[in-house]
Amino acid sequence: AYLSMVVAGLFTPPLEGGLRALWPSVLRREEQVHTAYAMDAVAQEVMYTVGPLLLTLCASRWSARAALLILNVVGVLGALSVVLSPPSR
C-alpha cells in the first residue's frame, strides 16, 4: 500500500495549476474569473482541513486499510472525472 501511494504521488499531474490556467479561457467575464479563483482557493483549503479529518475518522471507525481504500477510490474517481470531461479549449 505504501509503495502504491509513493508511485501515485510521484506521477500525479499538477491539476490545480492547470485548472487555474484554464479559468480565463472558460469563463467570459473578469469577475467570474476572480470568483472562480476565490472558490477554488476556498475549496482547496476545505479539502486540506476536512480530508485528513475524514481519513482519520474512517481509520478509527474501521481500519487503516479501509481508510486508504476509500482515499484511493475517491482519488481514482476524481482523476476519471478530469480525464473523461470534454476539453475546455
Q: Name the domain count of the chain.
A: 1
Domain assignment present for 18: yes
pLDDT (tens digit per residue) in 16-32: 888 888 888 888 899 99
What is the 3-state secondary structure of the chain? CHHHHHHHHHCCCCHHHHHHHHHHHHCCCHHHHHHHHHHHHHHHHHHHHHHHHHHHHHHHHCCHHHHHHHHHHHHHHHHHHHHCCCCCC
Domain assignment present for 1: no
Domain assignment present for 5: no
Domain assignment present for 6: no
Residue at grid coordinates 502504491: 4
Residue at grid coordinates 474569473: 33
Q: pTM of whole model > 0.85?
A: no
pLDDT (tens digit per residue) in 52-72: 999 999 999 999 999 999 988
